[in-house]
Homo-oligomer: A and B are copies of this chain.
Amino acid sequence: MAKRGMLIVLSGPSGVGKGTVRKALFNEPDVDFKYSISMTTRSPREGEVNGKDYFFVSKEEFEDHIKNGEMLEYAKYVDNYYGTPLNYVNKTLDEGHDVFLEIEVNGAMQVRANCPEAVFVFLTPPDLVVLKNRLIGRGTDDMDVIDKRIKTAVSEIKMMRNYDYAVLNDKVENAVDRIKTIVNSERLKVNRVMPDYLSMLGEED
């Protein structure tokens, strides 16, 4: 049986650029971990592809998954469900691959409760002014929604203390480099490699 893979969770405030960073990360030639596609009930934005950016499902389908215990985490956010189907994650980890999740902060805390051994990375905006400008720049939400999100972001920054690492998203390529550094470093953690060394010495843990 392969050594179980590592679960990497990227989260952060709404509008911080999680999706952009995740896409750039998976365009890197040396990234060998697997992306777990989230499921959502929100409508696709322009250019988003079902089964690639998200699994876009109906509210009823999503609630069936919850009822059947088939979600690793889920959250309702601005009237829509977002979540991670459990089956793909478990199967891929069992095969020995590392799995990468890009999820909302509420969901990340559920993963923390269920999988404390996962690596939790919090993506942060350079500052809240930039966050506000980015949300306005996106042009898909009205001002009330934006104000509500700003307030949420302040409390979300404080949620950083529930994460292992904070990655500043000043530039997408910097954020990508930092995440790769974290993953490469975590792969050298003693609790991950100790079993390999002991078996090399013919010893059991």
Residue contact A166 to B184, C-beta cutoff 8 Å:
no
**Does A43 interact with chain B (Cβ within 8 Å)?**
no
In the assembled complex, 10 residue pairs joining A and B whose CB atoms fall closer than 8 Å, in A order, are: A154-B201, A164-B189, A164-B190, A165-B185, A165-B188, A166-B189, A166-B197, A178-B184, A182-B185, A184-B185
User: Contact at A194–B161, with CB atoms within 8 Å?
Assistant: yes
| Shortest CB distance A146–B (Å) | 18
Flag whether A151 is at the interface (Cβ < 8 A).
no
Q: Which of B160, B184, B197 contacts A157 (CB 8 A)?
A: B197
Say yes or no for A193: interface residue by CB 8 A criterion. yes
Of A53-61, A105-113, A121-129, the stretch lying at the interface with chain B is A121-129
Complex interface bits, A163-205 against B, C-beta within 8 A gives 1, otherwise 0: 1111100000000001001101110111101100110110100
CB distance from A162 to the nearest CB of B (A): 8
Bound Cα distance from A181 to B194, whole angstroms: 19
A188 adjacent to B201 (CB under 8 Å): no
Measured CB to CB, the closest approach of chain B to A15, in angstroms, equals 16
Complex Cα spacing A51 to B186, Å: 35
Q: Which residues on B sit within 8 Å (CB–CB) of A154?
A: 201
